[in-house]
Structure 1
C-alpha cells in the first residue's frame, strides 16, 4: 500500500515543500491543491518549483501524486459557472502534467450527471492530455440536495465509455449510508476496481447516512472497525491511499500510528 497525507503547498518551497514533508514523514504518496481551493484565481508555478518537485519525487521512488481540484468547481453546472469550472479543472490537469502527478480528483458537483460528464471530458480536451497523462477521477460524495456522486451507480454511469476513473472516499460513503464492505463490493461490480486507483481514507464525524462531509482521525470517528477491514482488503493492495484527516503533529502521529499498526498486524 502507498499512503500519504493531503499536504500544504504554503511556504517558500511551494509544491516542492510537500514532497519534502512527505519524505520527512516517511510517506509513499502525497495529495495537494495546485492553487487555492476556494478561489477561481489560478496560481503560477514558481521558478524551480516544477524541477524541485520532480527531483524530490524521483528520489522517493516516484511518489504517487494526487492533485485535488478546487472546491468551487461544479462540473454539473451550465453557463458561466460551468465554464469557470471547466477552465479551473483544465488548469489543474495541466499543472498535474507539468509536475508529473498521476491523478486529479474532482467532486462531480450539483445538477445534471450528463453535464458533469461532458464538462469533465471538455476539461481533459482543454488540457490537451495524452492517454499517458494524468488521470481524472470523480470522487464519491456524502450526498444531500442535488449533489452528484453519493450513489455508486451514478458514478458508474458518468464514467462509462470514457477515460475517467473514480476516487473513493470512506467518510463520504459512510455519510451517504453505505457499509464500507458493501460499497467495495459495489465498486468492484459497478465501476471495476481497476478504475479506482485512489482511496481517501478518512473516518467520519457524522453518523452513517447523515450526509455530513466532516472527516475525523482514524478510529476517532463513527465508522469503527469496518474502516480497518476496508483498508486491509486484499483487493485494495495496489491502491494509493490518501488521508485527509485533521493535520497537526499530534494528529499526524496518531493517524500514522494507527495505519502502520494495521499494516504490521493485518
Structure 2
C-alpha cells in the first residue's frame, strides 16, 4: 500500500515528505479558497525528478455542477488549468469535489454539467492528468454525497475515464456505512483511484466535514484500516497536523502486520 499525506506547506512538499517519512504527497497549487492565477511551482522540476509521487487537490471554490454561469464557467476553466499545472509537477491526478446545485434546482442539470466538462475536454485532447472526483460530506443537492447520486454522476462521466477518490470521513458524515464501502463504490464506478483516509469528529450522517486523527474520531480505526487495505489504492491522510506523523506511523504498522 502506498501511504502518503496532504502537506500543509505547499511550497516545500519535498521537505514535508521527508519529515513525515512518506514518498507520496497531496498538495494545492494555489490558495484553495480563492480564484488566484496559477504560477509555476518552485519545486516543480525537483518534484518531477524525485521519487516522491504527487497528487494535486483542486481549489475548494470550484463547482463544476453549478447552474450559475459565473461559478460554473470559471470552474471548468480552473479544472483544465489546474490539471495542466498538475502535469507540470508530475502529478498522478487532480482531485475535484463533486459539487452541488442550489435548493430547488434540478440536480439532473448538475450531472449534465459534469458530462459537458468531460465531453468538451475530450474533444480538445483531454486533461493534463486524470480527474479524480471526490465524494462529499454534506448537501441535499450534492452530486457526490450519497452513492445513488454518484451512480447518476458515473452514468454521465464514466465513459470518459473519470477517476474516483473515496474520502472516508465524507462517506461517514454523508450517511454511507464504511463496512463494505469498497465493494459498494466499485460496483458503481468500477474503480477507486485514491483514498482520503480520515476519521471524523462528528457522528454518522452529520453532513459535517471535520476530519479527526485516525484513533481519535467517531469511526473505528480498524474499520478505516480495513477500507485502506481493501481499496487497493494509494492512501492519503488528510488528518489534523498535530497527529499526522503518528497517523502515518500507525497506518504503516497496521498494514504491515
Band of TM-score, shorter chain: 0.7 to 0.9
Does the 8 Å CA contact 2:4/2:26 hold for their aligned counterparts?
A: yes
Aligned to 1:114: 112
C-alpha deviation, 1:170, in angstroms: 0.4
C-alpha deviation, 1:116, in angstroms: 2.5
Q: 1:91 to 1:152 in 2, by over 3 A?
A: same
Which of 92, 95, 101 is 1:105 aligned to? 95
Q: Distance in 2 between matches of 1:152 and 1:86?
A: 24
C-alpha deviation, 1:184, in angstroms: 1.5
Aligned to 2:30: 35
Q: TM-score with structure 1 length normalisation?
A: 0.84
Q: Distance in 1 between matches of 2:120 and 2:214?
A: 37
After TM superposition, the structure 1 stretch with the greater mean CA deviation from structure 2, 110-119 or 150-159, is 150-159
1:261 has 2:253 as partner:
yes
Matches within 5 A, 1:1-266: 1-10=1-10, 14=11, 17-46=12-41, 49-56=43-50, 60=51, 63-78=52-67, 79-111=69-101, 112-122=110-120, 128-129=125-126, 133-158=128-153, 159-193=157-191, 196-224=192-220, 225-233=222-230, 236-237=231-232, 239-248=233-242, 251-265=243-257
Q: Distance in 2 between matches of 1:107 and 1:138?
A: 6
C-alpha deviation, 1:141, in angstroms: 0.8
SS, match of residue 27 in structure 1: coil
Which consecutive unaligned segments of at least 5 residues does structure 2 have? 102-109
C-alpha deviation, 1:122, in angstroms: 4.1
SS, match of residue 222 in structure 1: coil
SS, match of residue 80 in structure 1: helix
Which consecutive unaligned segments of at least 5 residues does structure 1 have? none
Q: Distance in 1 between matches of 2:251 and 2:121?
A: 35
Q: Distance in 1 between matches of 2:123 and 2:15?
A: 32
C-alpha deviation, 1:258, in angstroms: 1.7
SS, match of residue 180 in structure 2: helix
Runs (4+) of structure 1 moved beyond 6 Å? none
Q: Distance in 2 between matches of 1:124 and 1:8?
A: 33
Q: Distance in 2 between matches of 1:129 and 1:23?
A: 33
Q: Distance in 1 between matches of 2:30 and 2:123?
A: 21
